Structure 1
Amino acid sequence: MEGMNLLFVLSLLCKAACVWFALVAVAGLVCRARQGFRPRYSPAAPRTRFAVLAAGRNEEAVISGFVRSILAQDYPRELFDVYVLPNNCTDDTAGTARAAGAIVLDCPGAHSKGEALHSGLARLRNMDYDAFCVFDADNQADPAFLARMNDAFCAGARVAKGRIAAQNPRAGWVAGCYGLYFRLFDLFFNEPRGALGLSAKLVGTGFAVHKEVLDRLGGWNTVTIAEDAEFSAQCAELGYPVAWVPGAVTRDVEPVSFRVSLVQRRRWIGGVLQAGQARGGCLARALVQRRRAVTLDSCLFFLTPLTGAVGTLLGVTGTALALARGHLPLWAPLAAAMLGWLGCALGALVLRLFLPRAERPGLGSVLGFGLFMACWAPLGVLGVLCPPRRWVPVDHTAHLTVRRGRRLRRERAA
């Protein structure tokens, strides 16, 4: 009986979370349309002094590209510095980064990105910087990244997240699906929240945090494998929304292997669940004390791995029982799957229109998008039942050719 009661409560949470996210998406998009889809933050004179950081483990092959993209920013050079935080390296990440123009901060004893950020920011937080930008070592930032972040901070933002784009959308159908997924998530999650003053999703790259926030938190202090999600929960506890700054674009090299994609996304789900477990009590107390919408939204976000897994299990169980009892013909779930695939393919075609031409994936990604999205359900169940407990680097190599429309370069990303 207790198990049935728990299942009932979890199913109610599934419905409540779905209703909340749907209402936020609709209300936010309506609000955004009324704003005329103008940039939320007006251009401001450069005055924010940035420290730009990238933690790296064996990133010799890609770190110089990241450093060059920061040094090429359309922002006064005297207002930013770029730092690389090598940790557990067996290659020459540090030497390559230094040769490219970065300042190298060694992080002895650091075994994860969160620990490297803790070490690096402990040294930088008391220096003459107003804000800190965090990237992954395989990223490249658009030239306007720092300028757009400056606009947000000058307008009062204290934590800001830029748009992520696939750097290699035509390297394979999997890499292209990442680009489509990012745009889908931006359209129905980040854009509405930006319009309503709620938090955009703070993923582990392409974001910036003001010194004020780190001072209130006592530095960067995360302990889970999802340091980004854990940090966003800490911000929500203090009442800081993560501002959405789509003009600040980060280009990320995406996996080209379907297997690697499954491993990576399972880690994402497990990390969000772990961060929710670590910060759930504090978030709940902050919600009761402050009663802020940004905190409620964060609480429901951290429930999504659990509610998604429960919803998947309930759906599979219900379908299996209906088939076993003859209440549902076998062709019905097969037809539903085909319709779902067709809907995803058509949706992917529409999503491509919202992407700049250089970011548009090929036809294989459009056809494979249904499979890519369908995998979230079993990965969610696996992430809840067998969550990863430690961060494991994932290597993936993108081979792109630049010749008559093909790119010629080889990049490795972790």
Structure 2
Amino acid sequence: MFDQFFSQISFVDVFNFCVFITFSICYTYQLYYVFVVLTRKPPKHVAERNHKFAVMISARNESAVIGDLIHSIKVQNYPQELIDIFVIADNCDDDTAGVAQEAGATVFKRFNTKEVGKGYALDYGFSCVRDRYADRGYEAYFVFDADNVLDVNYFREMNATFDSGAKASTSYRNSKNYDSNWISAGYAVWFLREAKFLSQARLTLNTSCAISGTGFFIAADIIEKHGGWKWHLLTEDIEFSAQSILEGVRISYCPTAILYDEQPITFRDSWNQRFRWAKGFYQVFAHYGARLAKGVVANPKGKRFACYDMLMTIAPGMLLTIVAVTFNAIILALSAAGLMSTGIAIASSVSSIFFCLFNYLVFMFMFGVLTTFVEWDSIHSTTAKKVRYMFTFPIFMLTYIPIALVALVKKCQWTPIRHSISVDVAELSDAHSQKKGESI
């Protein structure tokens, strides 16, 4: 009986089973994250005193939106004398510098076409601040993108996290244009899912989070230790996170500090941005993967899981799906060419391709539905669009597969994405308060 069973198993079955088991072993722990978020509340912090902060904003041709960000900082429920705003006008050919200066920021103009990217711009900005304003006693630096706007209590909440001892912390990332189309909605759901079911779970379990592009602070002593911003890979945020975890620095999360981010609305901009992210993740994995794997075993107890979690974050897990689909597609191509005639292998390949793609779509649909319902009141859109975009979210995520594949073989250069959606944070805050009131 067993001989007959095993005789029906082809090498294709064995390969696909190994891929499935590998993926399950590596990432099943994130389902536990969901359980933690749904059953436990994150810790709360109350500040004993207010701290002095500097804001760093790297901006390239952002005259249409940067004034909104600076205004949202200027109306914070936090002492304004404890917040200084610095804008790095990076290779701009518009009036970003003028708009930022008129809004109340100190502007550093930078022109460098060889060292291109946010990481280099931030390093220049930190160098200027440390050279010219070292006597102001900044205790931490905040980093924002020019298209962001902040909830009025953002600094008050992040100050409590910093006062609790955090050396770095990310914040709750919402979207100011969720309902532009299915692309912006896909981004919005992904970042809400990251905030709720990754960062909040990590905070609750007292392990390390990761900073994600914008909306975070870093303690001044870390910047001093490294001599500025010394992370220049395509995803400099993840690079910083990986190195911090290797150095034993825990990155915290503040779920009550709300930031609104503008998402791309064209597929071309989305492709370029996510292509850069995919390439950047490969770079970080190449530079830090081996050390993180070593840290899983060699680090002091209590810090090993943070290394494992970050390793799984930067590991090219998407490649497992790509490898499985590509392998089975090759089997089918060989069969079509008459070079392979094993019926069992052909049937296994067809079913495996369907299984991989179908399971991926179902998994993403479930996460999209869960995130949308859990964060329903935080999403600024109509009920009809929230429901509709639950179904388009897995399609948005499916487009990551060709992006990840192309990123393996194609070079990437940093390219800016123009932002144009001007929003007063008061509108978002009022809408959020009104929806919360209706749900009580």
CA distance in 2, matches of 1:145, 1:327: 55
CA distance in 2, matches of 1:346, 1:122: 45
Letter in 2 for 1:302: I
CA distance in 2, matches of 1:47, 1:179: 31
Aligned length: 388
Q: Does 1:317 align with 2:322?
A: no
Give the equivalent residue in structure 2 for 1:357.
377
CA distance in 1, matches of 2:18, 2:241: 25
Q: Does 1:256 align with 2:259?
A: no
Q: 1:383 aligns with which of 387, 400, 407?
A: 407
Q: Does 1:275 align with 2:284?
A: yes
CA distance in 2, matches of 1:343, 1:399: 34
Alpha-carbon distance change, 116 to 343 in structure 1, aligned in 2, over 3 angstroms: closer
Letter in 1 for 2:374: F
Give the equivalent residue in structure 2 for 1:103.
106
Query: Which piece of structure 1 moves more, 99-108 or 49-58?
Result: 99-108
Aligned-pair CA distance for 1:290: 3.1
Give the equivalent residue in structure 2 for 1:302.
314
Aligned-pair CA distance for 1:208: 0.5
Letter in 1 for 2:314: F
Aligned-pair CA distance for 1:356: 4.6
CA distance in 2, matches of 1:336, 1:159: 37
Aligned-pair CA distance for 1:25: 4.3
Q: Does 1:114 align with 2:119?
A: yes
- With the length of structure 1 as denominator, give the TM-score of the two structures: 0.83
Letter in 2 for 1:298: M
Higher helix share: 2
Instruction: Find the residue that maps to 1:327 and give its secondary structure.
Output: helix
Give the equivalent residue in structure 2 for 1:327.
347
Aligned-pair CA distance for 1:394: 2.5
CA distance in 2, matches of 1:221, 1:131: 16
Q: Does 1:159 align with 2:182?
A: no
Give percent identity, aligned residues only. 26
CA distance in 2, matches of 1:351, 1:284: 30
Give the equivalent residue in structure 2 for 1:129.
138
Q: Does 1:234 align with 2:243?
A: yes
CA distance in 1, matches of 2:351, 2:299: 51
Aligned-pair CA distance for 1:16: 5.3
- In the TM superposition, 1:156-195 aligns within 5 A as 156-195=165-204
Deviations 1:355-400, CA, capped at 9 Å, x for gaps = 2535255144223112111122222222223252x21113365599
Deviations 1:99-151, CA, capped at 9 Å, x for gaps = 11111122343632111111111233434100000010111111111111111
CA distance in 2, matches of 1:352, 1:81: 36
Where does structure 1 lack aligned partners over 5 or more consecutive residues? 1-7, 406-414
CA distance in 1, matches of 2:20, 2:223: 33
CA contact (8 A) 1:59 1:93 kept: yes
Where does structure 2 lack aligned partners over 5 or more consecutive residues? 1-13, 336-342, 429-440
Query: Which piece of structure 1 moves more, 69-78 or 324-333?
Result: 324-333
Deviations 1:33-82, CA, capped at 9 Å, x for gaps = 56x41x42322144221111110011111110111011111111111111
CA contact (8 A) 2:70 2:105 kept: yes
Alpha-carbon distance change, 70 to 340 in structure 1, aligned in 2, over 3 angstroms: same
CA distance in 1, matches of 2:20, 2:93: 45
CA contact (8 A) 1:312 1:381 kept: yes
Give the equivalent residue in structure 2 for 1:411.
none
Instruction: Find the residue that maps to 2:312 and give its secondary structure.
Output: helix
Query: Which piece of structure 1 moves more, 342-351 or 122-131?
Result: 342-351
Structure with larger Rg: 2
CA distance in 1, matches of 2:99, 2:352: 57
CA contact (8 A) 1:256 1:396 kept: no
CA distance in 2, matches of 1:67, 1:81: 10
Q: Does 1:44 align with 2:47?
A: yes
Query: Which piece of structure 1 moves more, 282-291 or 242-251?
Result: 282-291
Q: Does 1:144 align with 2:153?
A: yes
How large is the Cα RMSD of the aligned pairs?
Answer: 3.2
Q: 1:92 aligns with which of 91, 95, 107?
A: 95
CA distance in 1, matches of 2:85, 2:181: 31
CA contact (8 A) 1:322 1:328 kept: no
CA distance in 2, matches of 1:33, 1:101: 42
Q: Does 1:19 align with 2:22?
A: no
Aligned-pair CA distance for 1:24: 5.0
Aligned-pair CA distance for 1:279: 3.6
